[in-house]
Amino acid sequence: MLASPRYRVLGPLEVRRDGQPCTPTALKRRALLALLLLHANEPLSVTVLIDELWDCHPPRSATATLQMYVSGLRHTLDPDHRFAGRDPRQHPVLRTEGSGYRLRARPGELDLDHFQALAGLGRSQLQSGRCAVAGASFRGALALWRGTPLGDLGEAALPSHYRVRLEEERLAVVHDRIGADICQGRSREVIGELEELCARYPLREAFHEQLMLALARTGRCAEALGAYARARRTVVEDTGMEPGPALRATQRALLDGHWPNDTRHERCRPAPPAQLAV
């Protein structure tokens, strides 16, 4: 009896069974598998699958072509099932359900599930003040990433919003991991990383908040307030709006001397205005 497949979507799509790769080679078939994995254990209707695979412009033969792709995937994921003469609709991995299909992924079979479980565990640990173990959970989650999620599937094969969603999840865990580092008193170690993240994602205010806090906690108050001024300028120029309440609250906390987490510190005073040369 063959072992259950193992799936990886946090990088190029990869399927392994008994330690050997068995990833489909045809692009559309890989895209279909990716869609089913991103909705693992949930039924996806034929209509939704066709719209996603052909960007709402399907060929007339789309339904028949989809059925052919499903048949191929079933053979890839559990070839013994067809050879045993069993009903393909009762396939142990990819079943027909209602007017669509559902791919079953057990715990430990899909790297995305493992990533999300570790991230959730880390957040629970961080909320209870267990910063070191939370940091280890976040690092374990991020270690599962192998590059751009589903990076081998172009937009013609898979809508970009799926990659955007996965990248958002990754950045949220990066933010949480840095928060755990700051919680452990490792502010100095994360400043360089935060400066790079702020430059790469200039409108992601959560990284600017962390940079301000890390700078202030290492005695670089003027730089922390300068970081806020740069972030505000970027946000205003790009969006025409003031920064969000969280970023503004971080600036006020530094000015008032009340820094997270509820510990009183010396106030960060704004630098005096530059003197004009006479």
Q: Among 103, 136, 171, which residue terminates a domain?
A: 103
Spatial separation of the C-alpha atoms in residues 6 and 21, rounded to whole Å = 9
Spatial separation of the C-alpha atoms in residues 52 and 33, rounded to whole Å = 12
The domain of 23 spans 6-103
* CATH number for the domain that contains residue 197: 1.25.40.10
Note whether residue 224 is domain-resident. yes
3-state secondary structure of 97: strand
Note whether residue 248 is domain-resident. yes
Which residue has 């600017």 as its token pair? 208
Which DSSP string do the residues of 227-247 spell out, in sequence order?
Answer: HHHHHHHHHHHHHSSPPPHHH
Neighbours of 79 (CB within 10 A): 13
Neighbours of 200 (CB within 10 A): 10
Spatial separation of the C-alpha atoms in residues 212 and 218, rounded to whole Å = 10
Check: CB of residue 29 under 8 Å from CB of residue 153.
Answer: no
Looking at residue 89, what is its pLDDT?
72
Looking at residue 270, what is its pLDDT?
66
Which residue has 């142990």 as its token pair? 92
Backbone angles phi, psi at 7, to 5 degrees: -120, 140
Looking at residue 169, what is its pLDDT?
97
Looking at residue 106, what is its pLDDT?
92
Return all residues near 40 (Cβ < 8 A) that are at least 6 apart.
103, 104, 105, 110, 112, 113
Identify which of 126, 128, 151, 150 has the alpha carbon closest to the alpha carbon of residue 139.
Answer: 126
What pLDDT, in 10s, does the model give residues 12-69? 999 998 888 999 999 999 999 999 999 999 999 999 999 999 988 889 999 999 999 9
Q: Among 72, 103, 134, which residue terminates a domain?
A: 103
**Domains identified in the chain, total number:** 2
> In this structure, what DSSP letter does residue 158 have?
S
With vertex at residue 132, the alpha carbon angle to CA 8 and CA 251, rounded to the nearest 5 degrees, is: 100
Check: CB of residue 216 under 8 Å from CB of residue 254.
Answer: yes
Q: pLDDT tens digits, the chain, 278 residues: what are they? A: 556 789 999 999 999 988 889 999 999 999 999 999 999 999 999 999 999 999 888 899 999 999 999 999 998 888 766 544 567 677 889 999 989 999 999 998 999 999 999 999 999 999 999 999 999 999 999 999 999 999 999 877 888 999 999 999 999 999 999 999 999 999 999 999 999 999 999 999 999 999 999 999 999 999 999 999 999 999 999 999 999 999 999 999 999 877 665 455 667 776 555 443 33
Looking at residue 76, what is its pLDDT?
87
Looking at residue 240, what is its pLDDT?
94
Looking at residue 116, what is its pLDDT?
97
The two three-digit tokens of residue 256, written as one number: 């008032």
With vertex at residue 17, the alpha carbon angle to CA 12 and CA 22, rounded to the nearest 5 degrees, is: 50
Note whether residue 229 is domain-resident. yes
Helix (H) / strand (E) element for 122: namely helix 111-127
Q: What is the pTM of this model?
A: 0.88
Q: Among 103, 131, 146, which residue terminates a domain?
A: 103
Looking at residue 58, what is its pLDDT?
87
* CATH number for the domain that contains residue 20: 1.10.10.10
Note whether residue 152 is domain-resident. no
Note whether residue 124 is domain-resident. no
Looking at residue 90, what is its pLDDT?
78
User: In the chain, where do the E strands start and end?
Assistant: 6-8, 14-17, 20-21, 44-45, 94-97, 100-103, 258-259, 263-264
Q: Which amino acid is at 71?
A: S
Note whether residue 117 is domain-resident. no
Looking at residue 56, what is its pLDDT?
80
